[in-house]
Amino acid sequence: MKHTLITITALIASLGAPAMADTVITNDGARLTGSITLIDAGIIHLDTAYAGTLEIKQELVSSFSTDEPVFVRLASGSTMAGPVISSGNGKLKIQSEDGTLETEMTRVTASWTPTSEDPAIVALREKEEAMRRQWKFRGGVNLLGKSGNTDQFDLGITFDAVLKGPNDALAFFGEYEQREKNGSTTEDRIAGGTSYESFFSEHYGWYVRTELESDKVDQIDLRSTSGAGMSFRIINKDTQTLVARSGLGYRYTGFGNGTTNESSATLDFGVAHTYKYKTFFSMENDLSYVPSIDDFDVYRVVHDSGIVIPLGNGENWKIRVGLKHEYDSQPAVNEKLDTTYYSRMIYSWD
């Protein structure tokens, strides 16, 4: 029914239109007029005054003809330029300067107008662009002040730089946190690190990472955590990624309260997940678990989940609302678990 309505509309419009126009004839005899702008990937693009741009599957078309010269690529790879005339029974005639070639509709693999670009060149350029490594930068800050019955000051600064390609990523990060409540410091932490991950197949790859951290409240002068191992890419889509990591590592912790420094070989496990819902928001989740090989009762778990919401119509300004857990099985202070709720203003650029 829908196809019949389009056909009737096309016929009515053609009564008042100039006689010369591009024409598409479908297998069931429907005749559509307009301007053929492109044939690519098995789809004919027909611009019409009565229904906008129609995308018609080439397998449903018996023939087409053009008013003006067009470029036509055949299955053999040869390209000809000239008007196309339908000769019936699924046959086409291409009238080039070198003569007239008769071929079948099924032999046409692409067509474009002289003012357009070869779709094969466009596809190649898009592929090269997708393969090219690009730097992406992101800086964030969260600031909160409160006075009265409770005096409170919170400051958080983060920075990320990632050189990302389709199958590898080199990343650097740094962060600083300071919190005070009623004159007492509840958080004074600085951390930074780098990582590199590369995939040699669709699902399998390898990674290496290292992090340095100092936390005065937790009495940690220096914590160094390094790891390397295998990566498994479970999901790899434009809207969602899921990567699991497993390897070996080394951890050193130097305490500032007289506690004996620790160093040990470790196992290194991690999971990274991202999900993007259209242009409305995205979700980022990271989890790492690093137990000591000598004693599995000595371990550290870090979990960070956040929702990132764009601000305005651009891609630069965003706000991230999240939750972060840090758990040490044997800390230098009494508290084993640190939980942070945050909302962070983020600016991203390439």
Which pair of tokens denotes residue 111? 């067509």
Kindly report, residue by residue over 288-316, the tens digit of the pLDDT.
999 999 999 999 999 999 999 999 888 89
Q: Is pLDDT at 228 greater than 70 in this prediction?
A: yes
Instruction: Write 198-202 long-range contacts (CB < 8 A, 24+).
Output: 198/167, 198/168, 199/167, 199/168, 199/231, 199/233, 200/167, 202/233, 202/236
Per-residue model confidence (pLDDT) at position 20: 52
Residue 39 reports pLDDT greater than 80: yes
> What is the pLDDT at residue 53?
93
Q: What is the mean pLDDT of residues 131-158?
A: 87
Lowest mean pLDDT among 21-35, 125-139, 140-154, 283-297: 140-154
Which residue did the predictor score with more confidence, 18 or 111?
111
Residue 222 C-beta-side C-alpha neighbours within 13 Å: 6
Q: What average pLDDT does range 206-233 have in this prediction? A: 94
pLDDT number for residue 19: 44
User: So what's the pLDDT on residue 127?
Assistant: 82
Give the integer Cα–Cα distance in Å for 185 and 334. Answer: 16
Strands (E), 97-133: 99-104, 108-112
> Is the pLDDT confidence value at 6 over 60?
no
CATH topology of domain 2-126: SH3 type barrels. (2.30.30)
Confirm if 224 and 337 have CB atoms less than 8 A apart: no
Contact yes or no for 286/311 (Cβ under 8 A): no
- Kindly list the domain boundaries of the chain, sorted by start residue: 2-126, 133-349
Residue 320 pLDDT > 90 = yes
Fold held by 133-349: Outer membrane phospholipase (ompla); Chain C (2.40.230)
pLDDT tens, residue by residue, 260-287: 888 999 999 999 999 999 889 999 999 9
* Cβ burial, residue 79 (10 Å; 0-12/13-18/19+): middle
Helix (H, G, I), strand (E, B) or coil at 120: helix
Q: What is the mean pLDDT of residues 216-245?
A: 94
Question: Which tens digits make up the pLDDT trace of 55-96?
Answer: 999 999 998 999 999 999 999 999 999 999 988 788 899 998
Q: What is the pTM of this model?
A: 0.69
If one counts every other C-beta atom within 10 angstroms of the C-beta of residue 60, the result is 13
d(CA 38, CA 117): 10
pLDDT greater than 50 at residue 18? no
- Asked if the model's pLDDT at residue 16 lies above 60, the reply is no
Q: Identify the pLDDT of residue 50.
A: 87
For the chain, percent of residues with pLDDT exceeding 90: 65
In contact, 21 and 10? CB cutoff 8 Å: no
What is the b/e burial string over 203-232, where b = at least 16 CB atoms within 10 angstroms of the residue's CB? eebbbebbbbbbbebbebeebebbbbbebe
Confidence of residue 11 (pLDDT cuts 50, 70, 90): very low
Q: How far apart are CA 209 and CA 299, in angstroms?
A: 18
Q: What is the pLDDT confidence band of residue 13, given thresholds at 50, 70 and 90?
A: very low
Average pLDDT over residues 313-336: 87
Average pLDDT, the chain: 89
Averaged pLDDT, 221-226:
94
Q: For residue 17, what pLDDT is reported?
A: 41
